[in-house]
Amino acid sequence: MSKKVLAIYYSQSGQLGEIIDSMTEPLAASGAIVEKVRIRPVTDYPFPWKSDHFYSVMPDCVLGVPVELAPFTLKESSYDLIVLGYQAWFLYPSIPCNSLLQHPDFRAVLKNTPVLTVTGARNMWLNAFEGVRKLLTEAGAILTGNIALVDRHPNIVSFVTIFHWLLGGKKDRKWGIFPKPGVSDADITHTKVFGELALPYLNSGNWEGYQKDLVSQKAAVVSYPLWKLESTAIPTYVKWAHFIVGRKKRTAWLAAFKYYILFALFIGAPILLIIDAVFIKPFSSRHIKAKKQYYLELN
């Protein structure tokens, strides 16, 4: 009997959809029935974004506040594999993805089902993955693999280019000078290799070893400096989120948060990384290795 695969995701620009298409292509070619579902909130987020609206979703992302999703139908009540697309928003699972993971109908399908998570991020996905992993565990799903595609350009370059894309709506080169934003076309096409790797596991129903295969093919890579910046930013984001939701002048405080991010990126981050490189990193190799393993091994 054909294996049944559900590929479910939210995407604004379509990038995550392209990644999911590429990843599931070999599964469909091998005879599996691949059902694709693109979810949407009842009130969807605008694309392209306006700057103020973009920053205004930060508190709800960080605090995990769900929104109502437009009704969606799943053809089956159980699947051999669920491919879950998620994206990071402000270092946390995007609001639509978080809402899906809290949706009772979807949680019922997740129970006891192997799940492969797939993201197309700028470059900071570790905490969002943590959030997704926690919600999957709560729903009784079996996490079998994680694919994390990123923009491989330097942090500051990808910051500039992603804003060009998210606020302008076009995934093209800013001023014809900067590189194309987001996950590269080559990396999106290459994702089908990870789908090919999944075939024997899908057919046997035993997923032991799949994540190891994915890691050996660099389906997910943990960069120490980016992890350092992300883990340092998280407690500050949480404080900002709690502070902002309690304010009457929310718009003014969101503007302050925007300037905080710019300060953190252009001034705080280089200083932090220099101090870390001199005083912390040389003495923490065991801790760093253990952390990397934690993110890459799934157990």
- Provide, rounded to whole angstroms, the least separation between the CB of residue 191 and ligand FMN: 13
Nearer to ligand FMN, 86 or 253 (CB): 86
- Provide, rounded to whole angstroms, the least separation between the CB of residue 200 and ligand FMN: 29
Nearer to ligand FMN, 16 or 139 (CB): 16
- Provide, rounded to whole angstroms, the least separation between the CB of residue 144 and ligand FMN: 22
- Provide, rounded to whole angstroms, the least separation between the CB of residue 145 and ligand FMN: 19
> Within 10 Å of residue 172's Cβ, how many Cβ atoms?
13
Which residues bind to ligand FMN, rule: CB under 6 A? 11-13, 15-16, 54, 57, 87-91, 120-125, 166, 182
- Provide, rounded to whole angstroms, the least separation between the CB of residue 244 and ligand FMN: 15
- Provide, rounded to whole angstroms, the least separation between the CB of residue 204 and ligand FMN: 31
- Provide, rounded to whole angstroms, the least separation between the CB of residue 283 and ligand FMN: 28
Q: Are 30 and 4 in contact (CB under 8 A)?
A: no
Nearer to ligand FMN, 57 or 254 (CB): 57
Provide the greatest CA pair distance for the chain.
Answer: 59
Nearer to ligand FMN, 57 or 202 (CB): 57
> Within 10 Å of residue 283's Cβ, how many Cβ atoms?
8
Task: Give ∠ CA 103-104-106 in degrees, rounded to 5.
Answer: 70
Radius of gyration of the CA atoms of the chain, in A: 19
CA distance 106 to 99: 10
Q: Which of 178, 117, 113, 186 lies closest to 145 in space, CA to CA?
A: 117
Nearer to ligand FMN, 45 or 107 (CB): 45
Tally: H helices and E strands in the chain: 14, 7
CA distance 100 to 39: 8
User: In the structure encoding, which two tokens stand for residue 107, read together?
Assistant: 């949680």
* Residue burial 214-249, b: 16+ Cβ < 10 Å; e: rest: bbeeebbebbeebbbbbeebbeebeebbeebeeeee
Euclidean distance between the first and final Cα of the chain, in Å? Answer: 31
User: In the structure encoding, which two tokens stand for residue 185, read together?
Assistant: 């076309």
